[in-house]
């Protein structure tokens, strides 16, 4: 698949089967991630591949977070708690992409985060090229202390996203739509363009 075609045709899709994904395909996706650019060549990423029964522990994290919210609101709803657990089973593979910032003096943490986000994009594109479906989740669950504890991360490491990965349940992805590049680009060809 041509890189421009991959970039334009990739979509986040939860239309994923529960069929196992061969380890070789997961490893290809992870290898693509490791070819992302990283300032100072720090390679600040680490990936946790959660599959099979491992998803039960992830489901418990989702459940604990949902329970905390219920306690704050003074409510109890077992159906909502069980629905939270189901989030861990939306795909047969869940990859936690973690940034482990390098502590060298010249390394900026922002650049370390950018490198891992670039690695995630590489994963999404590689998976698409292999005919797999993915979607990237961020938000409260990935930054919650329970997620840190689950993956045994130190205080400097941080989950930047959970990438759900699986075999496609459908053949076609819907067409995408973006603003024309002219609407989001400003050309600065001379000094006066800054005035």
Please indicate if the annotation marks 136 as binding a ligand. yes
From residue 138, alpha-carbon distances to 23, 146, 160 in Å are: 24, 14, 7
Please indicate if the annotation marks 76 as binding a ligand. no
Give the chain's domain count.
Answer: 1
- Residue 188: φ, ψ to 5°: -120, 90
pLDDT band at 145 (very low <50, low <70, confident <90, very high): very high
> Does the pLDDT at position 187 exceed 80?
yes
What does the alpha-carbon distance between residue 172 and residue 181 come to, in Å, rounded to a whole number?
A: 25
Quick one: pLDDT at residue 167? 95
Q: Which residue has the tokens 């053949």?
A: 171
Domain that holds residue 181: 3-194
CATH code of the domain covering residue 53: 3.40.109.10
Quick one: pLDDT at residue 89? 97
Please indicate if the annotation marks 39 as binding a ligand. yes
pLDDT digits (tens, 9 = 90+) for 105-130: 899 999 999 999 999 999 999 999 99
Please indicate if the annotation marks 11 as binding a ligand. yes
Please indicate if the annotation marks 138 as binding a ligand. yes
pLDDT digits (tens, 9 = 90+) for 67-110: 999 999 988 889 999 999 999 999 999 999 999 999 888 999 99
Contact (CB, 8 A) for 97 and 163: yes
Please indicate if the annotation marks 45 as binding a ligand. no
Both tokens assigned to 9? 């045709």
Please indicate if the annotation marks 12 as binding a ligand. yes
What does the alpha-carbon distance between residue 20 and residue 40 come to, in Å, rounded to a whole number?
A: 37
């Amino acid at each position: 698949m041509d890189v421009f075609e991959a970039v334009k045709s990739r979509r986040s899709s939860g239309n994923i089967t529960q069929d196992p994904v061969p380890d070789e395909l997961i490893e290809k996706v992870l290898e693509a991630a490791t070819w992302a650019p990283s300032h100072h060549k720090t390679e600040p990423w680490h990936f946790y591949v959660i599959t099979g029964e491992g998803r039960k522990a992830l489901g418990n994290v989702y459940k604990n977070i949902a329970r905390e919210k219920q306690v704050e609101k003074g409510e109890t709803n077992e159906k909502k708690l069980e629905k939270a657990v189901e989030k861990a089973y939306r795909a047969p593979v869940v990859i936690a992409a973690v940034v482990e910032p390098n502590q060298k003096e010249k390394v900026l943490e922002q650049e370390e985060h950018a490198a891992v986000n670039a690695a995630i994009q590489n994963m999404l594109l590689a998976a698409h090229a292999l005919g797999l479906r993915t979607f990237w989740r961020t938000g409260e669950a990935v930054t919650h202390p329970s997620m840190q504890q689950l993956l045994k991360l130190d205080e400097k490491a941080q989950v930047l996203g959970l990438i759900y990965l699986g075999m496609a349940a459908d053949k076609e992805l819907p067409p995408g739509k973006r603003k024309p590049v002219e609407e989001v680009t400003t050309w600065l060809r001379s000094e006066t363009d800054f005035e």
